[in-house]
Amino acid sequence: MALGAIVLGGALGYAAVRFRVEGDPLVEKIDAILPQTQCGQCGYPGCKPYAQAIAKGEAEINQCPPGGEEGIHKLADLLGREFKPLSAEHGIEKPKAVALIDEQTCIGCTLCIQACPVDAIVGAAKQMHTVIAGQCTGCELCLPPCPVNCISMEPIAESVESWKWKYPVFKLTPSRKEAA
């Protein structure tokens, strides 16, 4: 199966090279780095507004918890600013999760639908609602409006497809102890 990954890898080509957005305005470049969770934890109503604030120099680069350390490093590289650890007042970096509606409890009030920034929840008034997991960014914005608290965040489990080879580390094993 690994070989297949290589085959597809060929098709993938120069992903990282391609991703470098050349010649675009600064806001676009910053927005391309932001994770597009649209959660508002940075203090702005979405990723683009935060990108605009960074570009104008009104916001620090360490306010986006979903982007995490890696995102801050990328922003620091792009803007030639100093790396700063994630600002605690804006939140902490969490493993990616998706919202799950408990279908037994849901009363079909549509409040979560209105809260979802990416239209990832389907349902109609008085009908049970469901989250389309593949489109959920894990922003958690649907949690507070739910009057019956039936939405929970489920961490995304690792699968054979999403599993990653680990960074090769070789533990230094001490020479074998003599039998005691």
What residues line the site for ligand SF4 (CB under 6 A)? 34-35, 37-42, 44, 46-47, 50, 64-67
Site membership for another protein, residue 107 (CB under 8 A)? no
Contact between 47 and another protein per CB under 8 A: yes
Shortest distance (Å) from residue 79 CB to another protein: 18
Q: How far is CA 156 from CA 94, 101, 162, in A?
A: 11, 15, 10
Using CB under 8 A as the binding rule, whether residue 13 contacts another protein is answered as yes
Going from the C-alpha of 91 to that of each of 30, 40, 43, 46, the distances in angstroms are 20, 11, 11, 15
Estimate to the nearest angstrom the gap between the alpha carbon of 146 and the chain centroid.
22
CB nearer to another protein: pick between 25 and 88: 25
- The rounded distance, in Å, linking the Cα atoms of 89 and 43 is 10
Answer for which of 36, 52, 87, 130 binds another protein (CB under 8 A) is 36
Other C-beta atoms closer than 10 Å to the C-beta of 59 total: 18
- Interaction of residue 127 with another protein, rule CB under 8 A: no
Q: How far is the CB of 103 from ligand SF4 (least distance, A)?
A: 27
107, amino acid identity? I
From 6-14, 53-61, 98-106, 121-129, give the range in contact with another protein by CB under 8 A. 6-14
By CB under 8 A, residue 39 contacts another protein:
no
Q: Is 83 in contact with 73 (CB distance < 8 Å)? A: yes
Q: Closer to another protein by CB, 8 or 180: give it.
A: 8
Q: What is the CA radius of gyration of the chain?
A: 21
* Nearest residue (CB) to ligand SF4, 44 versus 112: 44
Number of residues that bind another protein (CB under 8 A): 46
Q: Residue 152: what residue type?
A: S
CB atoms under 10 Å from CB of 117, counted, come to 17
What residue ranges bind another protein (CB under 8 A)?
1-10, 12-17, 19-20, 31, 34-38, 46-48, 117-120, 135, 137, 158-168, 170, 172
